Structure 1
Amino acid sequence: MKHCLLLISFALLTANLGYAQKEDIKDAKDTGERKDYNKWTLEVTAGQSKGTKPFTVGYYSSNPDKMFGSINFNTFSVGVRYMFSAKFGLKADFSSDQFTNNKNTDSKDFKLQQYRFGLQGVVNASRLFNIQQELGRLSILIHAGLQGAQATPKYKPDEGEVGYFYNKSELNLGVMFGISPEFRVSKKFSIIGDFSTLSNFRQHWTWDGRVSDKSNNLSGQMIMSSIGLTYSFGKDNIHGDWAIIDEGKLKEIEELDKRIGELESMLNDSDKDGVPDYLDVENNSIAGVAVDTKGRMIDVNKNGVPDELEKYMANTYVDKSNIKETLETANADMIKRLINEGYVTTYFDTGKTNPTNVSTEGIDFMLTYLRNNPSASIDIIGHADEIGKTAYNDKLSIGRANTVKNTLIKAGVDASRLNVVSEGEDASVAIDSKDARRLVRRVTFKVRE
């Protein structure tokens, strides 16, 4: 039996090394997302089984004085498995076991033939514990259930021997538990090993075919190890134990998580004016300045200066003896300052040179300013975020500035008053923040002296 265990371990080690080399790992990735998978699997195995107890004194199946016995494949099994879901299934199997004394031992001769049928539940532990990606081509199945067996002694005893039931059969009943590691070798075939233990709650004969008192329940135990092949059959083109499962409930949860994430993004308030970004058509308003329900700074007299700033300037800096002229000068200085400090802005989506629909008011503001100040000229400064290569971002920022320039020219502004400047990548915000990067994909302006 130990030789059999070594053989299984070597096979699994070789398989694992093949996985580590990642020679055919692409096969595990070519499945796509499926709504179905192969639910049926056929298993054929061979290996070694032996009874551990009870035995009659003088009979045993292994040699306690030797580390290894002879390799003896004395169990053969065929089974079929059906998976109700990606994690749980049912398995029926039939096996033939033959128990004899090891020829390298001092045990007396015996031979017992057993035919066993089992019905067990199966758990795909790789999926249950969500470690299938880490295991790659490996998979681990756990099975447990009921079994019934017919045991028939086949060794013809010496004449007159008492307590031996030659060619008579007994029905044994019990439970079994096992672990089956798998390694996928092709899209539908896998190598499978199995390590199982069986405990009978109804057994009257020893594994050598003898009994001293048939009325006593001997509670027999046996262990099994085997190796073989599985074949997954169905309409899918990959083994059901490895197919990528697109389960409905899981998909609903993922969609719900995505919608919640989108809702959280919509409720962000980049300029802290109390209006969520998805409603804010002017998401660069000055902190503390009153805005309307769409996030626009309130400017009742339409002179380009928010009313609150205008009132503050009038109360603080305006010469009351010449209030009209002083107010006009203060307003002009304030507007120039707002422009030069980047409060007048036009925003862009990722990789785009056309401004977003809600940010064209920055261009409208500059058009009004240039019309009211016919001697003024401006720099149109393009910016980009840090995503992508620097050369591409430089080209993108100059493209954005040129788009704004061409818009102003078409609106009647002389091209000689417009100077395009590329600032390229703006590294002033966190590169891993999607919301922060929105604020640097922009065009700003500067009034030239």
Structure 2
Amino acid sequence: MKKIILSLVFAAAFTTLSAQTENEKTVANGEFNKWSIELAGGFNKPQRPMTSGFATSTPSPYVIDLGARYMFNNKFGLKADFGYNSFEGNDDSQSFDTKYYRADIQAVANLGRIMNFESWTNTLGLLGHAGFGLAQLEDQNSALKDRMGNFMAGVTGQIKLSDRVALTGDFTTILNAAQDAGFDGASTRASRGFTGILFNGTVGVTVYLGKNAQHADWVKIVDKDVLALTDRVSNIEDKMLDTDNDGVADYLDQEANTTSGALVNTKGMSVDTNNNDVPDDVENYIMKNYTSKTDKSPLLSNNELITALINGGYVATYFDFDSSTPTEVSNGGIDFILTYLRKNATASVDIIGNADELGKTAYNDKLSNERANNVKSILIEANINPSRLNVIAAGEDDSVNKDSELARNLVRKVTFEVK
């Protein structure tokens, strides 16, 4: 028996150390298993009544408990259990051999859930139990059969091994009422109160029954209406995201990749008053900084303005260090060129790859070529004829201070030139 208990203790310690961290599961009422079967074995110590000259070992083997438990929710339940104790004299005692049988109904409180164990562990649990029952003490060397009532209370520690099995350790105190004979069976006395005292310590397993994933011992229960409300709030929060930071929530935004800070309407679309496919804030900036102050004529025609933007390097896509894949935030440049080529079926473009000055020149020439070719491949996959796309590997761009990381970010790019 000692080897078995030591093995169980070792298994519990190993499981606790190796168990992976998992999120404690929240479920709605009724969506968890409620039944379990419990089996345990261990040691006992009868305190009184004992006849002078009679004693058991401390502790003495052995105890066997078998129970079935039903949880009304994740905090309270009932269980029926049956127990068997064996009492024998130790080396200094007169010989005796008695057996103790009991059957009890107990209330169960899941102290782990009541005290919110889930806030710091999803593996350890604690149950409290107390109830009444009937018991019988039998002397194996005589015809003695002493029937009595009992009250018992105890605590059960739990270690969750899986969703179906938990390891348990229990300590229980049993008070016997109307116990007429001593636990040794050698003497009798007329006593009607709770004079019998017996301690049990056991280690065992709990097996959870049911079709659901979790048992009431390990779940945090939330009302279905609360779960539904939580889902609705999460959906609203998702809808209120503003991915392109233009001030219009995604679920209303009809232009998902607007440049951050651009002027947009209530639908998240760039403001383009003259309908020339160039956002007003970009057009106003160019007119303010790149036209003659005395020239009152229109800046350019629609296509001329767009061509000037493209050939002036205002349309570009950028790359991370030593990468030939465009960054996600700069895909707008490729999308701009794609739109232009679709609207101008006879136009073609040079795709000009650039790299910063870090590294060997030959490697940077190769990297700039790969960047340009990757952009070309994206446009081809968008059904642009390859004959309209010309790759130019411009190699290193030495127009910025190579010792400045922020400046180097500006030259790791692909620009375009309309032909």
| Same fold? TM cut 0.5 | yes
CA distance in 2, matches of 1:280, 1:381: 32
User: What letter corresponds to residue 275 of structure 1 in structure 2?
Assistant: V
Asked if residue 446 in structure 1 is aligned to residue 416 in structure 2, the reply is yes
Contact kept, 8 Å, 2:132 with 2:150, in 1: the verdict is yes
How far apart are residue 144 of structure 1 and its match?
A: 0.7
Root-mean-square deviation over aligned CA pairs: 5.7
Map 1:46-445 → 2, pairs under 5 A: 46-55=41-50, 57-62=52-57, 72-73=61-62, 75-84=63-72, 89-100=77-88, 102-105=89-92, 107=93, 113-122=99-108, 129-130=117-118, 135=123, 142-152=127-137, 154=139, 167=144, 169-179=146-156, 181=158, 194-200=169-175, 202-203=177-178, 205=180, 207-208=183-184, 214=191, 217-226=193-202, 253=227, 260-261=233-234, 263-286=236-259, 289-311=262-284, 313-314=286-287, 318-324=291-297, 327-328=299-300, 332=305, 335-336=308-309, 340-342=313-315, 363-365=338-340, 367=342, 377-379=349-351, 401-405=376-380, 409=384, 415-416=387-388, 418-419=390-391, 445=415
Number of aligned residues: 366
How far apart are residue 54 of structure 1 and its match?
A: 4.7
- Residues 33-55 of structure 1 show CA distances to partners (whole Å, capped at 9, x for unaligned) of 9x977654444544432212454
- The alignment partner of 2:102 has SS state of strand
- Residues 420-443 of structure 1 show CA distances to partners (whole Å, capped at 9, x for unaligned) of 8899xxxxxxxxxxxxxxxxxxx9
How far apart are residue 176 of structure 1 and its match?
A: 1.7
How far apart are residue 336 of structure 1 and its match?
A: 1.8
CA distance in 1, matches of 2:125, 2:293: 87
CA distance in 1, matches of 2:238, 2:376: 28
Partner of 1:386: none
Contact kept, 8 Å, 2:371 with 2:414, in 1: the verdict is no
Partner of 2:9: 12
- The alignment partner of 1:60 has SS state of coil
How far apart are residue 94 of structure 1 and its match?
A: 1.7
The structure where strand makes up a greater share of residues is 2
- The alignment partner of 1:104 has SS state of coil
User: What letter corresponds to residue 11 of structure 1 in structure 2?
Assistant: L
- Residues 215-252 of structure 1 show CA distances to partners (whole Å, capped at 9, x for unaligned) of 6x35432111345666666668x9x7699989895897
CA distance in 1, matches of 2:294, 2:69: 97
CA distance in 2, matches of 1:246, 1:140: 13
* C-alpha spacing 1:129/1:416, structure 2 compared with 1 (3 Å): same
Tell me, which stretches of 5 or more residues in structure 1 are unaligned? 26-32, 63-67, 158-165, 383-393, 424-442
User: What letter corresponds to residue 116 of structure 1 in structure 2?
Assistant: R
How far apart are residue 119 of structure 1 and its match?
A: 1.5
- Residues 137-174 of structure 1 show CA distances to partners (whole Å, capped at 9, x for unaligned) of xx7563412132334473889xxxxxxxx836352331
TM-score (norm 1): 0.58
TM-score (norm 2): 0.61
**Identity across the alignment (%):** 22
- The alignment partner of 1:300 has SS state of coil
CA distance in 2, matches of 1:41, 1:126: 17
Partner of 1:163: none
User: What letter corresponds to residue 195 of structure 1 in structure 2?
Assistant: D
How far apart are residue 18 of structure 1 and its match?
A: 7.8
- Residues 386-433 of structure 1 show CA distances to partners (whole Å, capped at 9, x for unaligned) of xxxxxxxx99995664342465746xxx9345448899xxxxxxxxxx
